[in-house]
A and B are shown apart, each in its own frame.
Chain A
Amino acid sequence: MFDTASLLLTAPELILSIGATALMLVAAFAGDKATRFVSAAAVALLALAGLSLTGVAGSGGTAFNGLYSADAFGAFAKVLIYLAASVAILIAPRWFEREDRLRAEYPVLILFSAVGMGMMVSATNLLSLYVGLELQSLAAYVLASFMRRDSRSAEAGLKYFVLGALASGILLYGISLLYGFSGTTEYAGVAKALGDGVNLGELFGIVFLLSGIAFKVSAVPFHMWTPDVYEGAPTPVTAFFASAPKVAAIAMLVRVSVSGMGTATHDWQQIIIFMSLASIVLGAAGAIGQTNIKRLLAYSSINNVGFALVGLAAGTEAGVAAIMSYMAIYVVMTLGSFLCVLQMRDQTGAPVETIASLSGLSQTNKGLAAAFAIFMFSLAGIPPLFGFWAKFLVFEAAVKAGLFPLAAIGIAASVIGAFYYLKIIKTMYFDEPETRYARGDSLLEKALIATSAAFIVLGYGLIPALGSASAAAAKALF
Chain B
Amino acid sequence: MIQVFAFYLFAALVILSGALVIFSRNPVHSVLWLILAFFNAAGLMVLVGAEFIAMLLVIVYVGAVAVLFLFVVMMLDIDFAELRSGLTRYGLFGALIAMVLVGEMIIAEGAWSAGAIQLAQRAAPVSADMPNIEAMGALIYSRYLYVFEAAGLVLLVAMIGAIVLTHRERRDTRPQNISQQVRRRPQDAVRNTNPPVGQGVEL
Chain A residues near B (Cβ < 8 Å): 1-2, 6, 10, 17, 21, 24, 63-65, 67-68, 103, 105, 108-109, 112, 115-116, 119, 127-128, 131-132, 134-135, 138-139, 141-142, 145-146, 148, 157, 183
A112 to B156 alpha-carbon distance, docked (Å):
9
CB atoms of A17 and B161 under 8 A apart: no
CA–CA, A157 and B165, complex, Å: 10
Is B142 on the interface with A (CB-CB < 8 A)? yes
Query: In residues 120-149 of chain B, which contact A (Cβ within 8 Å)?
Result: 123, 142-147
Please state if B157 and A109 are interface contacts (CB–CB under 8 Å): yes
Question: How far is B150's CA from A138's CA once the two chains are assembled, in angstroms?
Answer: 13
Given contacts A1-B142, A145-B165, contact A24 B160 (CB under 8 A): yes
Residues of A within 8 A of B143 (CB): 65
**9 examples of A-B residue contacts, CB within 8 angstroms:** A105-B164, A108-B160, A112-B153, A115-B150, A128-B147, A134-B154, A135-B153, A139-B157, A142-B157
Partner of A142, one of B142, B145, B154, B165: B165
A157: B residues at CB distance < 8 A: 165
Does B158 interact with chain A (Cβ within 8 Å)? yes
Q: Please tell me if B151 contacts chain A, counting CB pairs below 8 Å.
A: yes
Q: How far is the CA of A104 from the CA of B34 in the complex (A)?
A: 44
From A21, A64, A115, B145 is in contact (CB under 8 Å) with A64
Q: Which residues between 88 and 143 of chain B lie within 8 Å of chain A, taking CB atoms?
A: 123, 142-143
Q: How far is the CA of A103 from the CA of B157 in the complex (A)?
A: 15
| Nearest-Cβ distance from residue A215 to partner chain B, whole angstroms | 18
Closest A residue by C-beta to B146: A64
Tell me whether A10 and B156 are in contact in the complex, defined as CB-CB below 8 angstroms, given that A105-B164, A183-B123 are known contacts: no
Q: How many A-B Cβ pairs are below 8 Å?
A: 68
**Nearest CB of A to B123, in Å:** 5
Shortest Cβ distance from residue A229 to the other chain B in the assembled complex, whole angstroms: 16
**CA–CA, A68 and B146, complex, Å:** 8
Residue among B151, B153, B156 with the highest chain A CB neighbour number at 10 A: B153
Task: Tell me the complex Cα distance, A127–B123, Å.
Answer: 18
- B156 touching A128, Cβ below 8 Å: no
Interface residues of B in 142-184 (CB under 8 A from A): 142-147, 150-151, 153-154, 156-158, 160-161, 163-165
A112-B157 in contact given A142-B165, A183-B123 (Cβ < 8 Å): yes
In the assembly, what is the distance between CA of A68 and CA of B80, in Å? 55
Chain A interface helix/strand/loop/mixed = helix
> Would A138 and B146 count as touching, CB distance under 8 A?
no
Whether B150 contacts A135 by the Cβ 8 Å rule is yes
Question: A131–B151 contact, CB under 8 A?
Answer: yes
Report A-chain residues with C-beta under 8 Å of the C-beta of B123.
183
CA distance A116 to B145 in the complex (A): 16
Most buried by A among B123, B160, B165: B160
Distance between Cα atoms of A134 and B154 in the complex (Å): 7
- Contact A67–B146 (Cβ < 8 Å): yes
List 6 tightest A-B contacts by C-beta distance, closest first: A142-B161, A64-B146, A131-B150, A67-B146, A105-B164, A131-B147
CA of A145 to CA of B166 in the docked complex: distance in angstroms? Answer: 11
Chain B residue numbers with a CB within 8 Å of A68 are 146
On whether the beta carbons of B164 and A142 are closer than 8 Å, the reply is yes
Beta-carbon nearest neighbor of A130 in chain B: B147
Bound CA–CA A105/B164 (angstroms): 7
The docked-state distance in angstroms from the alpha carbon of A183 to that of B123 is: 8
- Determine whether the beta carbon of A128 is less than 8 Å from that of B146: yes
- CB pair A138–B154 under 8 Å, yes or no, is yes
In the complex with contacts A21-B156, A183-B123, A128-B161 CB distance below 8 A: no
Known: A115-B150, A115-B153. 8 other contacts (CB 8 A): A2-B142, A2-B146, A63-B146, A65-B143, A116-B153, A131-B150, A135-B153, A135-B154
Cβ contacts under 8 Å, A134 to chain B:
154
Q: When chains A and B are docked, how far (Å) is the Cα of A142 from the Cα of B165?
A: 7
Kindly name the residue among B144, B146, B164 whose own CB sees the greatest number of chain A CB atoms within 10 A: B146
Chain A min CB distance to B166 (Å): 8
CB of A474 to closest CB in B, whole Å: 25
Partner of B161, one of A10, A65, A103, A139: A139
- Among residues of B, the one whose C-beta sits closest to the C-beta of A115 is B153
Cα distance, A23 to B140, chains bound together (Å): 28
Expressed in whole angstroms, the Cα–Cα distance for A138 and B161 within the complex equals 8
B141 to chain A, nearest CB (A): 9
**Contact of A17 with B153 in the complex, beta carbons under 8 Å:** yes
Complex Cα spacing A286 to B120, Å: 55
A6 to B165, CA, bound (A): 36
Residue of A nearest to B138 (CB): A1
Which of A21, A103, A108, A127 touches B144 (beta carbons < 8 Å)? A127
Distance in angstroms between the alpha carbons of A148 and B168 in the assembled complex: 10
Taking CB atoms, residues of chain B closer than 8 Å to A131 are 147, 150-151, 154
Q: A2 to B142, alpha carbons, bound, how many Å?
A: 6
Q: How far is the CA of A2 from the CA of B148 in the complex (A)?
A: 13
With a cutoff of 8 Å between Cβ atoms, the chain A residues found around residue B165 in the complex are 142, 145, 148, 157
